[in-house]
Structure 1
Amino acid sequence: HRAAGLHLKHGDEFSIVNEKSMFLFSQIKEAASMAAIESALATLGLNTAQIDGVFSILAGILHLSNIVFVEEENSEGTAAKIDSDSILHLKYAAECWGLEPHIIRNLLSKREVTTRGESYLVQYTPMEANFARDATCKSVYESLFSYIVKSVNRSLATAAGGSSANPTIDLSSAYFIGVLDIFGFENFTHNSFEQLLINYANEALQNTFNEQLFEKELQLFREENIDFSVSDCPTNKACVNLIAGRNNSIFKTLDSVSRQPKPSDERFCEELHKAYSLDKHFLGVHRKDMRSKFCIKHYAGDVTYNISSTSSATTSNSGTSGWISKNNDSVPDALVYLFTESKLPQFKALNGLNQSSTSVDLNSAANNIPARRKSVMMRPTIVAIFSKSMDDLNALLLSTSCQFVRCIKPNEAMLPGEFNNCYVMEQIRSLGILQACEVLKVSLPTRVSYATLKASLADVIKKVQHLFTGDSEVVLIACLLRAFSISPELYRLGRTMVFFRPGQLARLENILHHNSSNGGANGKEQANSDLIKAIEQS
């Protein structure tokens, strides 16, 4: 019933999805899946109207993605016009979002340009209208995703005793468990802008893995004078900096070229070869390809990126998508106007949830296009937004204690029952697993400071302290552990803390709760007396 009300039938009707990824509401299995999703949304605290609003917004995205533009000649030249076969999708998109069709039509057909304090309207070409349509779809979907995440946080905060009126969870001060399932490294025959973003994310997270597992661990061992032997620790910081460094990087070059008058993908590629030809992670290509390709030596392998679009990437509904165009794939200024004018409460609630949208004045101009502020800040590009997201994610990961699950493909063709030794070993080396195993040989996961041990046994320490006059603190701690019958093979003594091998957490807990685990004053006194004798014998 909901599908019919939203004018949805089959997934193969919509260009943004295919029949394999679209919910087919007529099938019982998919209906059960939809029921599970609705139940989950209800658990998050969304009422029936809000749930209906979520699906209505999604349906609007589907309909909007089906709008096709054709060329129309007018007094200003070539302009974009919505194809007659798409008018129904325009009507349905507006209906799903609680808007009048002409508001969406104006958003996708023209933009306001401000020059020297004067504003005027410029009509989109069909290609520009395609970009505006796609950017709007992505922005609304991103905002809806943020809306769902906020609902999850609100539900968790309330369940944890927080206030539903103030559901913000401060991850810097709250206990939380996070699961990050990332997209894998990609290396295809034709690698474009999207592959660079995905592979940069993998590079950045691999760098986090290196810092968590190697750098911090080995630095601690050095500071604590724990002997260890490990080969050179893997590092991919140089590659991360090449792609997204703050000063000179591929992303910075792309942004710089994107802001030039009449930017081109070929110019961007030429600038890369001029700037980074001496970088060991920027590999050379054939001279004839220097305007269309560049190659990066990633931790997982060498990847050649193509600047020029393939013929398959160019369609009548999407236009040619080059790197400059994709990087400048920014949200139309008037998108905020859609949110504020909507009669659908859930669509209104999306306003301000998209990090790539810009704030604009809502004073209506001709044809309902809002005027820009005169002092408009430069809008962030896609790579700028993506880099900021990765920086925030890495900062969060580095503030936590991470556990890593590394997935190894048994063969390149992903066939069952086939194990390619060379292919597997190449992955093991590139992921730093061999070096990780060397670090894990030391394997001292449980640590406690000498100060904590002494504080938990303060009464005992006072009575035996005189026995260790002139001795280092390490001698006292060693005798204390021996009194608890812990073999020296099960721990290592550092400068300020004890490092226990795996499986010794229970013994450590027994030490730290020695006083509280012996019931009554008499029991505590007897336990301390026995411990003092054991220390004296040590």
Structure 2
Amino acid sequence: MASPVNIIVGSHVWVEDPVLAWIDGQVTRLDGQDVHVKTTNGKKVVANVSKVFPKDTEASPGGVDDMTKLSYLHEPGVLQNLATRYELNEIYTYTGNILIAINPFQRLPHLYDTHMMEQYKGAALGELSPHVFAIADVAYRAMKNEGKSNSILVSGESGAGKTETTKMLMRYLAHLGGRSGVEGRTVEQQVLEDREKFKLENPKSFHYLNQSNCYELDGVSDAEEYLATRRAMDIVGISEEEQEAIFRVVAAILHLGNIEFAKGKEIDSSVIKDEKSRFHLNTTAELLECDAKNLEDAMIKRVMVTPEEVITRTLDPESALSSRDALAKTIYSRLFDWIVEKINISIGQDPNSKTIIGVLDIYGFESFKHNSFEQFCINFTNEKLQQHFNQHVFKTEQEEYEKEQINWSYIEFVDNQDVLDLIEKKPGGIIALLDEACMFPKSTHETFAQKLYQTFLKNKRFIKPKLSRTNFTISHYAGEVTYLADLFLDKNKDYVVAEHQDLLTASKCRFVAGLFPPLPEESSKSSKFSSIGSRFKLQLQSLMETLSSTEPHYIRCVKPNNVLKPAIFENLNIIQQLRCGGVLEAIRISCAWIPRLDVHLMSLFSDLVFLLLKYWMGTLMTRLPAR
């Protein structure tokens, strides 16, 4: 983003800062391409003129509600505007038609009540303050008036507030559709005993809940959230008996995650580690209504059937942990699918409807200390959606400029097609190579990694980390992520372990047994390989086809800080998210045509003035007496 005005001595400017991202100051000297700046915190900085940006000294103290209204559409100006608004609890800001939503990490109920919904009903975008309701309303009116399906894509990294934003969208759309009346209906306000019954007295002690170290948020009541969930279940027709079973299964999964293993007496064998683990084992069995010994065996033993004999082998502690997690994921997956199907049946779409509004709440781009197959799939999804965002925002906008005959210059943005080719291209993409490795019995994570190294030796998006025989790095649009290939083969194989299936099919709980109906005889004896990666790719392709048939609207959620607390605005963190999400490029495209539009209008204005002057002079000349 080149500076749109000349930088001179005395200019108030922004320069980069390693802690604050950007800091303001005043130019003290110019030395060729070097600009000397004294910052407001007393530092003296020398920066290249291309990295020095003018500061708007007349900016509104409350910021602007649309980035395109900024005097200077550059990164520090955008950051300052967001910070100013966030300090005033103005968490929503437009960038043209894109809504940026910064998580306040606190309840702001006045923003989402029925009165607020009525205000946004039928209002044009930009007529009122930026709001998630405004985006929902635009999508709804477009669907009703133009007869075209619309979609709202809510994106952002974990903790940015995507799910809460999606809830607000759904609530508003339900309000417009006349379905919100059920919200206030009388429901018995009773919470069945939201820990004692399921032995969940201390949530902090559960391994599966102990990943983020965040157990509560200011202004968020677990009891109220639990009650709201029960109400929602009532509304969509999940019976009280089914609700009870759902919570039993969720509690069982939590207890399952606390079962640990120690080395057994035999080689490559394991046993329940201690009495604490034994307690969680027994509680899991009690909640799932299955035999505790069978549950233990299902996690630490495997039965192999050969034409000659039946062989039982034991698992070492590490493999037993993987077996435990696989069982938890299987149960959770079946429960999730059951709930989705139940809801879809309950609120089933009108089969005669030709238009829809799709609301997509996607998991954000992930880059942890240890990244495995799950992060690979999540980041693959984000690459796909980023490409969709690029194509729609930039291509559509630039086509509009051509249509309006506006003098514009093409905006460069990061094209991530090469990353997608690296991941999904047939036959040589990572997913294809992973499937190939999974189908060969002698393949290991090391042979898989070596195959990747050989295949993508010259690919600029693929990096082999030094001193590693199994890790690989992909240069994503949002930055480099290093993946541990160690469990890729196991996690790509989609089959339910026969011991897990048998255990849960035999459950005395009708609900649990219903999640695991008996398999046909022929499929229960053998587990044919089915690729999770390939199926994921197909589902993603189907999603993109659906999105392509709709008019998209974008909401970019931003996490303001990593401690998940209100009133904290971490500049570097936010800038990274804006860069990764393509928001700054979207602002740049606005920046590209606004100055040129001004020139275009000035040109028209000049022509108009000239014609008027010519006409006036001509009229004047006819009135002047001849000399």
Normalization by structure 1: what TM-score? Answer: 0.62
Say if 2:247 is the partner of 1:80.
Answer: no
Deviations 1:144-166 (A, max 9, x none): 12222222212212xx6x6xxxx
Pairwise mapping of residues 69-468 of structure 1 onto structure 2 (< 5 A)? 69-74=261-266, 77-85=267-275, 86-115=277-306, 119-157=310-348, 175-188=355-368, 190-214=370-394, 230-231=410-411, 235-283=415-463, 285-286=465-466, 288-289=467-468, 291-307=469-485, 322-328=487-493, 331-351=496-516, 360-361=519-520, 372-373=524-525, 376-381=527-532, 383-407=533-557, 416=568, 419=571, 426-427=579-580, 432-433=585-586, 437=590
The Cα shift of 1:123 comes to: 2.6
Structure 2 residue identity aligned to 1:390: L
2:238 maps to 46
CA distance in 1, matches of 2:577, 2:196: 49
Q: How many residues align?
A: 396
The Cα shift of 1:276 comes to: 0.8
Higher RCO, 1 vs 2 (CA within 8 Å, ≥6 residues apart): 2
Flag structure 1 segments of 5+ consecutive residues without an equivalent: 163-168, 308-320, 353-358, 364-370, 442-488, 490-538
The Cα shift of 1:274 comes to: 0.8
Structure 1 residue identity aligned to 2:502: Y
The Cα shift of 1:236 comes to: 1.7
CA separation of 1:305/1:90 partners in 2, compared to 1, >3 Å: closer, same or farther?
closer
CA separation of 1:9/1:271 partners in 2, compared to 1, >3 Å: closer, same or farther?
same
Q: CA RMSD in A?
A: 4.1
Deviations 1:382-432 (A, max 9, x none): x33433332332232223222112346789999945656985884476874
CA separation of 1:294/1:361 partners in 2, compared to 1, >3 Å: closer, same or farther?
same
On the 8 A contact 1:132/1:331 being kept in 2, the answer is no
Three-state SS of the structure 1 residue aligned to 2:299 is helix
Flag structure 2 segments of 5+ consecutive residues without an equivalent: 1-191, 595-603, 605-627
CA separation of 1:283/1:18 partners in 2, compared to 1, >3 Å: closer, same or farther?
closer
CA separation of 1:304/1:84 partners in 2, compared to 1, >3 Å: closer, same or farther?
closer
CA separation of 1:217/1:332 partners in 2, compared to 1, >3 Å: closer, same or farther?
farther
CA distance in 1, matches of 2:508, 2:445: 41
CA distance in 1, matches of 2:547, 2:578: 27
1:59 maps to 251
The Cα shift of 1:50 comes to: 1.0
CA separation of 1:306/1:132 partners in 2, compared to 1, >3 Å: closer, same or farther?
closer
Three-state SS of the structure 2 residue aligned to 1:403 is strand
Deviations 1:229-262 (A, max 9, x none): 6446753222112012232112222333344445
Normalization by structure 2: what TM-score? Answer: 0.54
On the 8 A contact 2:462/2:474 being kept in 1, the answer is yes
Deviations 1:252-283 (A, max 9, x none): 22333344445443333322121012223224
On the 8 A contact 2:493/2:529 being kept in 1, the answer is no
The Cα shift of 1:63 comes to: 1.6
Three-state SS of the structure 2 residue aligned to 1:303 is strand
CA distance in 2, matches of 1:425, 1:409: 10
Structure 2 residue identity aligned to 1:204: K
The Cα shift of 1:221 comes to: 10
The Cα shift of 1:134 comes to: 0.3
In terms of fraction of residues, the more strand-rich structure is 2
Larger mean CA deviation between 400-409 and 44-53 belongs to: 400-409
CA distance in 1, matches of 2:559, 2:259: 40
CA separation of 1:231/1:32 partners in 2, compared to 1, >3 Å: closer, same or farther?
closer
* Identical-pair percentage: 28
